[in-house]
Chains A and B, each alone.
Chain A
Amino acid sequence: MSDMSINASGLRRDETMERMRLLGLSSPALILVLVIMVIPVGWLFYVSFIGADGQFSLENYERMIKRKSYMRIFYTTFQISLLTTGLCILIGYPLAYFMSQLPQRIANLCLITVLLPFWTSLLVRTYAWLVLLQKRGLVNDWAMSLGLWDEPIKMVHNMTGTLIGMVHIMLPFLILPVYGAMRAIDRDYLKAAANLGASPRRAFWTVFFPLSTPGVFAGALMVFVLCLGFFVTPAVLGGGKVIMVSMKIVSNIELFVNWGAASALGVVLMLLTVAVLWIASRFLNLEKMAGGGH
């Protein structure tokens, strides 16, 4: 009896040791993330509470509340993120639905049109829009020759250009999860609905749409969070007229060398992101989304 219990505890100890060793395999990755990201970001958090005189102060945060320009930047950031997410749903949902209705082989071909931009460099796509939307660009040329408008319209270096570019860049992030969710829906439910006399519209809204919402939530969340911290596209297509939080952080460092102000903005941006993810996690299984994302 005592032999057996010694044996069992020994085995358990061995197993724990083995699990610790396995966990140790992740240490190079963990150390790298700690040294390159966690510690420096933690230091920025600390710097955000240091005033211009080198003492502890909340002036970096007070500035954000008091100055109208800062409030406007946050407003712009939310506005762009919400608009981009909304437009992505409006365009992406029908497209994903269309592809989910096709036979697998043809759907895979259509998916290439989503994956090609997904894999193409962000900078290249932003540049493409810059070229297309400029005053002497292709969009103006074609629209004028078709008689849609007479004068070249300014579509870049402003909000319009920023939104067009951002929606184009974010669309695949919405379409892929929505498409995945739609493919997973059992078609028999729709057959049953039709059988029971539901009109096509009713079958769609009461059966198909509710089943596809987890994919929509996942995609919309991804798009919204990515938009909050976006830099490249608004910086190029906004032409300095559209200022988002991340752009203000960069100019605080590059132009004003004000680490306190930049850090405070960064901390708020990160907290906003975490808050959005936290609220979302109460409704969705984020870990499943991260683990299942292929």
Chain B
Amino acid sequence: MLRWLQSPASDTQITHGQRMWLYVFACIAMILLVLPTLIVIPMSFSDSQYLEFPPETWSTRWYAHYFGSPEWMQATATSLKAALLTMLVATPIGVVAAYGLHASRIGFVRVAFVLLITPMMVPVVLIAIGAFYAYVKLNLLYTLTGLVLAHTVLALPLVLIVTGSALKGYDMNQEMAARSLGAPRWKAFLTVTLPQIRFAVVTSALLSFLTSFDEVVIAMFISGGDNPTLTRNMFNALRDQIDPTIASISTIMIVITSLMMIFAQIFGRGASDK
């Protein structure tokens, strides 16, 4: 142990002992990053109103309350539908746009690229009230279509950036080879290019799903009536009081995102093993 403390830790010849503080600090920081989220999980199984940790008596009453409430169930269904549809709209539109911008090298491309990633830079509140106003005119307020379109706009920059950077690392000459052998452009894209950027496409799809599923501010304005989203209801519940039901919903959401992360990892490994 002592020898380890005095052994050099990096190329600068600093010893492990001299930078012990860094190890302690980093461990505390990592615990603080993860713990607050994870601690919600055991708390959600507490029987008490006040969400003790560790729970004195365990129960699944908050889950029962969540699954038994038509409002929460309806909101969950809306959120899942919106997220799935956003994924199905934003991914193809975004991938095709990224491909078009990558392959076409005229001056306007830069303008189009900047325009397509602005939703990431414009404050989301502004997008929300703008969409709210537009939807009143277009009769899209409180509709699933409206929600999906707005979330698609938010997801497009991510799709464009992720797919775009994958295309940068892809050799377009392979597609040229396919085309010179007689494949039409669309077929060359589908059979040669797409399989090679599939990890980026899958990542884009997952990011689109999560963008929509987690989105609060836009949903606050343009979802409602019969179609409020899960996050909108959660946010409203949080503003009033600490409702323990939200702990159970949070746990379910953590499980969903973790599963998606694992899914992305598996796909990622498949792509890099090649």
Interface residues of A (CB under 8 A from B): 16, 18-26, 28-30, 32-41, 43-44, 91, 94-95, 97-99, 101, 110, 113-117, 119-132, 134, 136, 138, 168, 171-172, 187, 190-191, 193-194, 198, 200, 203-204, 208, 225, 228-229, 231-232, 235-236, 246, 249-250, 253, 259, 262-263, 266, 269-270, 273-274, 277, 290-294
Given contacts A23-B106, A91-B29, contact A229 B115 (CB under 8 A): no
A43 near B130: Cβ-Cβ < 8 Å? yes
Which of B51, B53, B104, B129 touches A262 (beta carbons < 8 Å)?
A: B129
* 9-residue interface stretch from B60-68, B70-78, B156-164: B156-164
**Interfacial chain A residues near B149, Cβ < 8 Å:** 32, 36
How many of chain B's residues touch chain A, expressed as a range? 35 or more
CA A200 to CA B10, docked complex, whole Å:
9
CA A36 to CA B48, docked complex, whole Å:
45
- Of the listed residues A20, A115, A119, the one surrounded by the most CB atoms of chain B closer than 10 A to its CB is A119
**Interfacial chain A residues near B258, Cβ < 8 Å:** 116, 119
CA A139 to CA B205, docked complex, whole Å:
38
CA A16 to CA B108, docked complex, whole Å:
12
Which of A124, A168, A236 touches B40 (beta carbons < 8 Å)?
A: A124
A44 near B216: Cβ-Cβ < 8 Å? no
Q: Does B14 contact A (CB under 8 A)?
A: yes
CA A118 to CA B254, docked complex, whole Å:
11
> What are 16 A-B residue pairs whose CB atoms fall within 8 Å in the complex?
A18-B104, A21-B104, A36-B134, A37-B119, A37-B122, A38-B115, A98-B26, A101-B9, A110-B26, A119-B261, A121-B231, A123-B235, A127-B247, A171-B33, A187-B11, A266-B123
A28 near B97: Cβ-Cβ < 8 Å? yes
Given contacts A114-B33, A291-B164, contact A249 B125 (CB under 8 A): yes
A249 near B126: Cβ-Cβ < 8 Å? yes
- Whose C-beta in chain A lies nearest to the C-beta of B213? A121
**Interfacial chain B residues near A198, Cβ < 8 Å:** 12
Which of A95, A121, A231 touches B30 (beta carbons < 8 Å)?
A: A95
B127 near A37: Cβ-Cβ < 8 Å? yes
A236 near B235: Cβ-Cβ < 8 Å? yes
Which of B13, B39, B50, B162 touches A200 (beta carbons < 8 Å)?
A: B13
Interface string of B133-154 (1 = CB under 8 A from A): 1100000000000000110110
B217 near A95: Cβ-Cβ < 8 Å? no
- Whose C-beta in chain A lies nearest to the C-beta of B221? A253
Which of A98, A120, A190, A228 touches B257 (beta carbons < 8 Å)?
A: A120
CA A168 to CA B36, docked complex, whole Å:
9
**Interfacial chain A residues near B260, Cβ < 8 Å:** 119
A33 near B96: Cβ-Cβ < 8 Å? no
Given contacts A123-B234, A127-B234, A128-B37, contact A33 B116 (CB under 8 A): yes
B18 near A200: Cβ-Cβ < 8 Å? yes
**Interfacial chain A residues near B106, Cβ < 8 Å:** 16, 19-20, 23
**Interfacial chain A residues near B109, Cβ < 8 Å:** 23
**Interfacial chain B residues near A113, Cβ < 8 Å:** 30, 33-34
CA A18 to CA B152, docked complex, whole Å:
28
**Interfacial chain A residues near B29, Cβ < 8 Å:** 91, 94-95
Q: Does B271 contact A (CB under 8 A)?
A: no
CA A37 to CA B150, docked complex, whole Å:
8
